[in-house]
Structure 1
Amino acid sequence: MNTRRIGIGAVVVVGLVALFFVGKYLITNKQTTPEQAKTDNKKEKTEERSQQVAQLVHQACLYADSVGIDTTRFTLNADAARNEEKLTDVLEEIRYGKKPSRMAFSGLKETVDSTWSAKADPASLDTLSTFAPYKQLVGHYNRLRKQGSSPALADSLRLIRQTLNFYRYINRFDPDQFVLVNIPAGELNVFDRTGKRLLPMQVIAGKPDKMTPCMATYIQDIVMYPYWNVPKNIALEEMLPRMKRNIAYIYNQNLQILDAKDHEVDPEDINWEELSETNFPYRVRQASGCENSLGLLKFNLANPLAIYLHDTNSRDLFKNTTDRWRSHGCVRVQKPVELANLVLGTPTFDAAFMNKCLIDQKPKTLPIPKRFPVFIVYNVADVDSTGKLHFYNDVYSLDK
């Protein structure tokens, strides 16, 4: 009897224990199923987005490679968040490029759309740029890539990539019109946003030992009948020896000697024998007029390097020589009147202005309607007005 009771009790206990664990399992499973489903759903979406990002990076890199961008920096890895960053980086470089390494000064405010990459479609990036020289240069780049491999070809492609990056860099400023001075080409062009050349002309830039620096800046104003405030190094190294040899040099060059208070000093009252490169308490200025080295028009550029665009009193140089690299660093322009009228937005000067040679004129500053962007660059590879590819002379030996 006792044995039977013990057996029944054991069965009951086992049943209760089994019931307890079954109930606990059912209750626990019932509580965690929604959470597990939520976790599984989130994981599925994360994996789906990760695959999508990988595909988008792949598409963007294919296009980036076709326009001369180094895509090895955008290799995918297991970090999904990092891949998202890479997608943003490659898309932004496709649109805005990188700051060119040779830019000595940048005074333009960037207008980069930081939200653009989030809505960009990598499948339609070829419609992004409407700038004609850029598209023409991309065509030449891909044409040359199909010609095989050699050191000379690799070098040509490298030079084209530099220029392509510069054209993308311009998009950071979104200008309606801008001046582009290309030093190796010895040319200035005014472009609109489609790449149309509004005012092509020749320029004379700095000598190899007086290189014109690259910059992104803007025209602040235009000066009629400018003075030429002679840079100190030119005054001491080039002019002082001549002035000491013959005081007539001062009058022949229409120079003025100014003291520390900017008062003009009579050259006859100066003891030239006591002066030297380390003892010269004066400033040299060339009076305005047709013989002024800056000519009749000066385009002031915002920069701390004392670089500007200007007319010249030696305009025959544009006809009589092909040497476009003979200045002390500033840029002489072939068509100053046309450039001034375009920047001012009104026909302020006529063709006769350059031939009037008025005397005793004081400098007059003309404000411009809005800042006019100017890019001074060193692009050895570029296209001309017909879309033909050129490799210009590396006059400063910067791309060897």
Structure 2
Amino acid sequence: MDTRKIRIGIAVIVGLVVIFFVVKQFIPNKTTKTNQAHVKPDEKKAELPVRQVAQLLHQACQYADSIGIDTTRYGSDSEVSESKLTNVLLEIRYGKKPSRMVFTGLHEKVDSAWAMKADPTTLATISSFAPYNQLVGYYSQLQKQGRTNPAMADSLRLIRQTLNFYRYINRFDPDQFVLVNIPAGELNVFDRTGKRLLPMQVIAGKPDKRTPCMATYIQDIVMYPYWNVPRNIALEEMLPRMKRNLAYIYNQNLQILDEKNHEVDPEDIDWDGMSTTNFPYRVRQASGCENSLGLLKFNLANPLAIYLHDTNSRDLFTTTNDRWRSHGCVRVQKPVELANLVLGAKTFDAEFMNKCLIDQKPRTLPIPKPFPVFIVYNTADIDADGKLRFYKDVYSLDK
């Protein structure tokens, strides 16, 4: 009887153990299946935006490539992210800061939120600036030719630089702006559609006295300016002439100023003791028709002492094609017209340049608001007739 009870007890225990392991294995399997049933729809939802981002990034990169943007850094690896999409869209609209831009005095207005809602299929419509759109058209044509003609690579590179610059202008959203292109020897005032409001020739820095590239603005305009001669010019070019003959000082209408800014009589200076290392004076050219800055000076915000100005050698615009002969500042062909445009009113008439008023002191004219100025070095660009032009690489920067 006891043996029978023991056997029954053992059977019950074994049965309970079997049931325990069956239930233990069944419950996790059921839970796993249940979890899988819930996870799969969520996973599909998570995968959908990634696929959308990948598709949008592909579309954006295709367009970016067609307008001269290097897209390898956006699509070369397997990682797809919204930040990549945002970055390529922002570069399409705002470009990158040109490598030759040594000074930027303008405040950027980059709308980063725009990229979150931009439609990559409509990117071709975001720019209304005519020269940019025309240049994109030429780039597309040459890009197709470049597939069979490797010689096109250099032209495409130069166009890409200019296209990036035009995109860079969008960071500042100007209604009107001055654009000085050094290789072209030209100044244009553009509106936001790309209309040329005031084209003219300029004379920029010679190859050994290069005009620097910058994004800045006109602060004010000076009538009858002094020319405060840069010290290197005073020492290297003027001092030897002054030492040889004091008449040079009077003929050039120069003034010698001491450290307190008081004018010194040239006859009282011991010129034999003056040298490039011992010259405790500064040189200034008096205002007037013979002043090297002419009758109008356009002060630009920058730490490099670069500005736009009239010239007392206006015949250079008609007697020579050499547009690169200054010490770095930019001489403009139509100073009166530029001043009137910047001031927003006809302040000067056509006769202003022909009047040679005596004993005039500099007078500063405030302008309604800072007027953006871009000084650039674009050897490929669109001319006034909408044609693609390649200009002389006067500073040998594009070799």
- When normalised by structure 1's length, the TM-score is 0.94
Same amino acid, percent of matched pairs: 78
Matches within 5 A, 1:251-270: 251-270=250-269
Matches within 5 A, 1:46-61: 46-61=46-61
Deviation, 1:114, is 1.8
Query: Structure 1 stretches of 5 or more lacking a match?
Result: none
- One-letter code aligned to 1:86: K
Deviation, 1:233, is 0.7
Matches within 5 A, 1:181-260: 181-260=180-259
Is 1:308–1:331's contact at 8 Å kept on the other side of the alignment? Answer: yes
Deviation, 1:5, is 4.7
Matches within 5 A, 1:76-115: 76-80=76-80, 83-115=81-113
Give the whole-Å Cα distance in 2 for the aligned partners of 1:362 and 1:244.
Answer: 28
Give the whole-Å Cα distance in 1 for the aligned partners of 2:39 and 2:244.
Answer: 91
Give the whole-Å Cα distance in 1 for the aligned partners of 2:38 and 2:138.
Answer: 53
Give the whole-Å Cα distance in 2 for the aligned partners of 1:339 and 1:52.
Answer: 50
Partner deviation per Cα, 1:232-264 (whole Å, 9 max, x = no partner):
111111111111111111111111000110000
Counterpart secondary structure, 1:146 = helix
Of 145, 148, 161, which aligns to 1:147?
Answer: 145
Give the whole-Å Cα distance in 2 for the aligned partners of 1:266 and 1:399.
Answer: 49
Give the whole-Å Cα distance in 2 for the aligned partners of 1:252 and 1:151.
Answer: 57
- One-letter code aligned to 1:359: I
Give the whole-Å Cα distance in 2 for the aligned partners of 1:178 and 1:139.
Answer: 24
Instruction: Determine whether 1:350 maps to 2:346.
Output: no
Is 2:207–2:394's contact at 8 Å kept on the other side of the alignment? Answer: yes
Give the whole-Å Cα distance in 1 for the aligned partners of 2:333 and 2:321.
Answer: 13
Q: 1:37 to 1:335 in 2, by over 3 A?
A: farther
- One-letter code aligned to 1:256: Q
Q: What is the Cα-based RMSD across aligned positions, in Å?
A: 1.9
Deviation, 1:58, is 0.9
Is 1:187–1:202's contact at 8 Å kept on the other side of the alignment? Answer: yes
Is 2:61–2:75's contact at 8 Å kept on the other side of the alignment? Answer: no
Q: 1:23 to 1:151 in 2, by over 3 A?
A: closer
Give the whole-Å Cα distance in 2 for the aligned partners of 1:195 and 1:11.
Answer: 96
The aligned counterpart of 1:72 is 72
Is 2:256–2:284's contact at 8 Å kept on the other side of the alignment? Answer: yes
- One-letter code aligned to 2:53: V
Counterpart secondary structure, 1:221 = strand
Query: Structure 2 stretches of 5 or more lacking a match?
Result: none
Is 1:54–1:76's contact at 8 Å kept on the other side of the alignment? Answer: no
Partner deviation per Cα, 1:123-173 (whole Å, 9 max, x = no partner):
111111111100000000111122244453111110000000000111111
Give the whole-Å Cα distance in 2 for the aligned partners of 1:12 and 1:382.
Answer: 95
- One-letter code aligned to 1:85: S
Give the whole-Å Cα distance in 2 for the aligned partners of 1:65 and 1:155.
Answer: 16
Counterpart secondary structure, 1:312 = coil
Partner deviation per Cα, 1:151-202 (whole Å, 9 max, x = no partner):
5311111000000000011111111111000000000001111111111110
The aligned counterpart of 2:44 is 44
The aligned counterpart of 2:293 is 294
Give the whole-Å Cα distance in 2 for the aligned partners of 1:305 and 1:194.
Answer: 31
- One-letter code aligned to 2:107: K
Deviation, 1:12, is 3.6
- One-letter code aligned to 1:110: E
Give the whole-Å Cα distance in 2 for the aligned partners of 1:340 and 1:370.
Answer: 13
Is 2:56–2:120's contact at 8 Å kept on the other side of the alignment? Answer: yes
Give the whole-Å Cα distance in 1 for the aligned partners of 2:113 and 2:11.
Answer: 70
Partner deviation per Cα, 1:1-32 (whole Å, 9 max, x = no partner):
66665555455434434444455566656766
- One-letter code aligned to 2:261: D
Give the whole-Å Cα distance in 1 for the aligned partners of 2:201 and 2:38.
Answer: 68
- One-letter code aligned to 1:153: M
- One-letter code aligned to 1:43: E
- One-letter code aligned to 1:135: N
Give the whole-Å Cα distance in 1 for the aligned partners of 2:268 and 2:43.
Answer: 89
Give the whole-Å Cα distance in 1 for the aligned partners of 2:186 and 2:360.
Answer: 30
Q: 1:189 to 1:308 in 2, by over 3 A?
A: same
Instruction: Determine whether 1:367 maps to 2:359.
Output: no
Counterpart secondary structure, 2:235 = helix
Instruction: Determine whether 1:158 maps to 2:157.
Output: yes
Structure 1 window deviating more from structure 2 (43-52 vs 352-361): it is: 43-52
Aligned residue-pair number? 398
Structure 1 window deviating more from structure 2 (287-296 vs 36-45): it is: 36-45
Give the whole-Å Cα distance in 1 for the aligned partners of 2:131 and 2:398.
Answer: 21
